Amino acid sequence: MSGSSEYQCGQCRHRFRTPEGAPLDVRTLMCPACGSIDLNLVTVQRPAPPVLVARERTPAEHRRAKSRAATS
């Protein structure tokens, strides 16, 4: 996540992100839920997206190949 930060309110525990490209001046931030300025910067680790690997043939392709061989 580049350009935005995630915060958690110390009073109401609400989590929110700053908009992309917003200035990183923490003194002007406040919780959008309760208005508190007691904010904690949260480190979020998101999993890497899965990589899909194609198999040689799917079960449907096996059936099609057999039916084509039977009709020829």
pTM for the predicted model, two decimal places: 0.52
Q: pLDDT for 51-64, tens place per residue?
A: 877 766 666 666 66
What domain range is 7 assigned to? 1-45
Is 35 part of any domain? yes
Count of structural domains within the chain: 1
The CATH number linked to 11 is 2.20.28
Q: Tens digit of pLDDT per residue, the chain (72 long)?
A: 445 688 999 999 999 988 777 666 666 788 999 999 999 988 877 788 888 777 666 666 666 666 666 665
pLDDT for 2: 47
Is 18 part of any domain? yes
> What own/partner pairs with CB < 8 Å and gap ≥ 24 does 41-44 have?
41/5, 41/6, 41/7, 42/6, 42/7, 42/8, 42/15, 44/1, 44/6
